[in-house]
Structure 1
Amino acid sequence: MDIERILKTRENAIYYGIGEYQKDCFGWVGGNAPACFDDKYLSDKDNLYFYLTFQNPLNPNKQISIFTPEFDVALEYNTYPDCKLLLVEHELSSQSKSDRYKHPEIDEIYSIYEMSTEKDMPEKKLCNQIWG
C-alpha cells in the first residue's frame, strides 16, 4: 500500500466492501463488538452501540472500532465537532459472544474487506486473502 499517495497527495484512496459474514475476519458491520470490549465501560452519558470494526490499513496488528449512540441522538449530533461517534483503535480481537454493545437497530452482520487502493478498484479480494 502506498501510504504517501493515499494520505499526503490524496491521489488514491482505500476502498472497502461488505459481504457475507466470515467468522475469521477482523472487520465486520453489526453483530457484537470485538471481545476486547467485554470488560470495558465506554461512556457515562450516552448509551453507545457497536457499529463496525475493521483492520487498520496503516497497522495490520490493530483494529479500529466505531460506536454510535441511539439513532435519534446520532441524527441530532451528526456533524463535526458535535458528532457523537466513538472511534477506538485497539489490538486485533474477534467478535465477542456478549451482546452488551450490540446495536438494537442492526440485525444483519457483514464482513468488511479491503477492495483496493487504486482508482479503478479491481475485483474483490476475499477476506482470508486480506487478513490471513
Structure 2
Amino acid sequence: MRDLKILKERTECMLFQANEKDSDNGWIGGNAPAYFDELEGMVNKETEMNFYLSIVNPFNETEMISIFAPKHFEERISKNRYPNCSLITMKHPKTEESKLDTFADPDLVKHFISEANIVSDKASFEERFLIKFGGTPRHIQGEEYYYNKLHDDGFDFIFQVDEDGYPDTLIKPRKNYPFSFGAIYLYAQILEDSIMNPIHSYWQFS
C-alpha cells in the first residue's frame, strides 16, 4: 500500500510495463475481471464494449481500475473528450480474470502489468511505458480543452496508458492499435486516503 502523496506532490511517478510474465498487478487484453460477469447485459449488449485493461490500484490492493472501449473505432474517435468520452472507466473490487470471453478484444494478446518503477516525473518524459501513475500527463496533443473542464469540476490526473509502451507481441498480426498509437488519460477526485469515483477520461492519438 502506497501513500497518496505521490499523486499530490507530483514530483515522482510510477511507471508500469506490459510483459508476458505473470503478476498480481493486472493485465491488458484477455478477458475482463470476473466482477463484470454479472454486468454483461448492462455493459456489453447495450453499448458493445471491449475490455482493454485492468490495473490493481497501487494505493489499495483490494481494488482494480478497469477500462472498456467501444468495439467500433468510429464510436471511440467521435467521443474522445470529457464529458462525453465513450470509454468506460471504473474502480471496482479486485477479482480474478473471468473465464468468459464476453468482453475480450480479439485483436489483443493478453499481457501482464509489471511491478512499478518509481522515477522522477521529469525523467518519465524520456522513457517508454505502458502506464504512468501520478506525476503530470505526457500529452500527445497539447490543447487545454481536453482537461480544463475536468480541473474545473474538481478532478485531477491519476494515470495514463500509452500505446508507445506496447510490446511487439501485444497486437495480433495485421491488426491496428485500438487508439491509433495514442494514449488514454484518467482523472478522479483525490481524497486524503483514497481515489474517489467517478473516474473520467479522454484520449488522444498521433
1:65, 1:89 within 8 Å by CA — same for their partners in 2?
A: yes
Structure 1 residue 27: deviation in Å?
Answer: 0.5
Q: TM-score scaled to structure 2, two decimals?
A: 0.52
**What does residue 8 of structure 2 align with?**
8
2:135 is aligned to: none
Preserved contact between residue 49 and residue 68 of structure 1 (Cα < 8 Å)? yes
Give matches, 1:77-96, under 5 Å. 77-96=79-98
Residue 11 of structure 1 and its aligned partner are, at CA, apart by 0.6
Query: Partners in 2 of 1:75 and 1:114 — Cα distance?
Result: 31
Task: Spell out the pairing of 1:57-68 with structure 2 (5 A cutoff).
Answer: 57-68=58-69
Write the letter of the residue equivalent to 2:20: E
Q: Distance in 2 between matches of 1:36 and 1:8?
A: 30
Shift of 1:49: 1.2
Bigger share in helix: 2
- The amino acid that maps onto 2:11 is E
Name the CA shift for 1:67/1:110 in 2 (closer, same or farther; >3 Å): same
Q: Which runs of 5+ in 1 are unaligned?
A: 122-132
Deviations 1:66-94 (A, max 9, x none): 11112221122122222111111111111
Check the 8 A contact 1:48/1:69 in 2, yes or no: yes
Aligned residues between the structures: 118
Structure with the bigger percentage of strand: 2
The offset of 1:37, in angstroms, is 0.9
Alpha-carbon distance in structure 1 between the residues aligned to 2:52 and 2:83: 19
Verify the 8 A CA contact 1:21 1:28 in the aligned structure 2. no
In 1, Cα distance between the equivalents of 2:77 and 2:3?
A: 35
Describe how 1:40-119 pairs up with structure 2 within 5 A.
40=39, 41-42=42-43, 45-70=46-71, 71-106=73-108, 108-119=109-120
Aligned counterpart, 2:26: 27
Superposition RMSD in Å: 2.0
> Is contact 1:29-1:53 (8 Å) kept?
yes
Residue 21 of structure 1 and its aligned partner are, at CA, apart by: 4.9
Aligned partner of 2:35 in structure 1 is: 36
Q: RCO higher in 1 or 2 (8 Å CA, sep ≥ 6)?
A: 1
Q: What are structure 2's unaligned runs of at least 5 residues?
A: 125-206
